[in-house]
Amino acid sequence: MRHIKIVIIFLTLGVFISCGKKQEASEEKKEEHHHEEENKTEVSLSKEQIKLMGIEVSPITDMNISGYIKVTGEVKINQEQESKVGGIISGRIKSVNVKEGANVRAGQVLATVENIDLVSIQTDYISAKNDVEYAKQELDRQKRISDITSRKTIAELEANYKRAVTNMRSLEQRLSSYKINKNRFDNLDEDTTVNVQRFYSIVSPISGNVVSKMITIGQFVEPSTEMFHIVNTSTVYVDLNIFEKDLSKISKGQKVKIETSTYGDEVFEGNIANINSIFDDASRTVKVRVLIKNKDNKLLPNMFVTAKILIEENNVKAVSKSSLIEEGESKYIFVRTNEKAEHEHEEDGHKNDIHKSEEHKSGDKIVFKKINVRTGVEDDKYIEIFPIDKMEEDNEVVTTGAFYLRSEMKKGELGEHDH
């Protein structure tokens, strides 16, 4: 009796262990199936479905394309046409002649600064000018009576004259730095104060637009004070990031066409002005700068644009543009593989026998696989591709019906997730 009990216990344990293993295997299979669902990259269709959807395929071919490389970029200020205007002396702002947003010409007076040192510099110059005239007259007079004047006296007078001239020249340079014309002090009468200038003019060095004004009347400013920011946007730069694979097709002077969503189909043209010598290892790109003629100053700094870099004819591996699907940053195509999907539901057991028999009637299913790609040169019909995912050489690309496959793949993902 005792032996019988032991046998029953062992048999019971065996049943529990067997059930546990089956449950674990089932859970593992479910987990594995769920993982496949999360990364679904294939679509299986019968020949009837393929015919109904009008799906067509074609091999990737080598072809000569004379087209363009399409990239995105950002508008930048042409720094050669930008000026941050300040003064060279301290003082108090007497007048501000322009507002933010105003268009100004080169040489236009933007503001005036009052500085008492200006008066002393000018009066010093007037005195120095008079000293030169007096020293010259005295030297000439002594030379005329040289018979009774010692050589030592003449030498001293010549030295005095040279010192006076040196002092006057130094003050002339200071006047010039303050934009004060020395000729205003020629032919002075007794009232010299009439010609003395009390204000220093702040002038625009370039023609352009006053982007910002940082001063107000009565404000005290130093030589380091930035008063105006002026930008000329008749020409702008556009910075483009070119992928490593496309660098061999890029050269200085190459023609570029720029478009922006702000102005629809309007095209702005320019040429590549500079190719950066530093490679960005993180993005695998090189910065290329394009100089653009900015019609009506429409392109503004920091605008995002689309650029087409025109290139000469190249022999590349290309597909029809109808093959390419773009989703955000990713681009991909579908290829027909040599795999068959006849027994894809075999793991579900006998409950799918009816479904399997129906598949056999319509023939084996054909597997289409999603392949992520990068793109290169393109024209109106074809585009160069660089597969990121592995694909076989004899795989044919879906040229018609790619969006149907995309929909089927998305439906499959949603349905399986619900399951």
Q: What is the CATH number of the domain that holds 208?
A: 2.40.50.100
Nearest to 238 by CA among 254, 249, 225: 254
128 and 98 both lie in a single domain? no
254 and 294 both lie in a single domain? yes
110 and 210 both lie in a single domain? yes
User: Structurally, how many domains does the chain consist of?
Assistant: 4
Which among 290, 310, 330 is the end of a domain?
Answer: 310
392 and 325 both lie in a single domain? yes
Q: Say yes or no to pLDDT of 219 above 50.
A: yes
Which among 310, 334, 361 is the end of a domain?
Answer: 310
Sole residue written with tokens 């793109």: 375
Q: Say yes or no to pLDDT of 261 above 80.
A: yes
Sole residue written with tokens 């930048």: 76
- Flag whether 31 is in a domain: no
132 and 159 both lie in a single domain? yes
- Flag whether 160 is in a domain: yes
332 and 412 both lie in a single domain? yes
Q: Say yes or no to pLDDT of 254 above 60.
A: yes
For residues 369-379, one letter each, b for 16 or more C-beta atoms within 10 angstroms of the residue's C-beta and e for the rest, the string is: bbbebebbbbe
- Flag whether 347 is in a domain: yes
414 and 321 both lie in a single domain? yes
- pLDDT higher for 187 or 363? 187
Q: Say yes or no to pLDDT of 347 above 70.
A: no
Which uninterrupted H or E stretch holds 50? helix 47-53
96 and 216 both lie in a single domain? yes
Mean pLDDT over residues 194-201, rounded?
A: 79
105 and 158 both lie in a single domain? no
- Flag whether 94 is in a domain: yes
pLDDT of residue 414: 54
* Most confident by average pLDDT, 10-24, 68-82, 350-364, 402-416: 68-82
Longest Cα separation, the chain = 162
104 and 226 both lie in a single domain? yes
- Flag whether 25 is in a domain: no
DSSP strand E in 56-198: where? Answer: 56-59, 61-65, 68-77, 82-86, 91-96, 103-104, 109-114
Mean pLDDT over residues 15-26, rounded?
A: 50
How many CA within 13 A on the CB side of residue 391?
26
96 and 221 both lie in a single domain? yes
- Flag whether 257 is in a domain: yes
Mean pLDDT over residues 284-291, rounded?
A: 95
Identify the band that residue 67 occupies on the pLDDT scale cut at 50, 70 and 90: confident
pLDDT of residue 35: 45
pLDDT of residue 356: 43
Pick from 138-152, 181-195, 294-308: least confident: 181-195
149 and 162 both lie in a single domain? yes
Q: Say yes or no to pLDDT of 147 above 70.
A: no
Q: Are 238 and 268 in contact (CB under 8 A)?
A: no
- Flag whether 23 is in a domain: no
Identify the band that residue 353 occupies on the pLDDT scale cut at 50, 70 and 90: very low
pLDDT of residue 352: 44
Instruction: Pull the structure tokens for residue 359.
Output: 């598949």
Whether this prediction's pTM lies above 0.85 is answered by: no
User: CATH number for the domain including 398?
Assistant: 2.40.420.20
CA dist list (Å): 205 to 81, 106, 291: 10, 5, 22
User: CATH number for the domain including 285?
Assistant: 2.40.30.170
pLDDT 10s digits, 44-58: 888 888 898 899 999
Identify the band that residue 2 occupies on the pLDDT scale cut at 50, 70 and 90: very low
Which among 275, 310, 345 is the end of a domain?
Answer: 310
Cβ neighbors of 223 (< 8 A, separation 6 or more) are: 86, 87, 88, 89, 90
Residue span of the structural domain in which 178 resides: 121-191
Task: Point out which residues pair with 387 in neighbouring strands.
Answer: 373
Mean pLDDT over residues 318-334, rounded?
A: 91
- Flag whether 398 is in a domain: yes
Using the 8-state DSSP alphabet, how is residue 144 labeled?
H
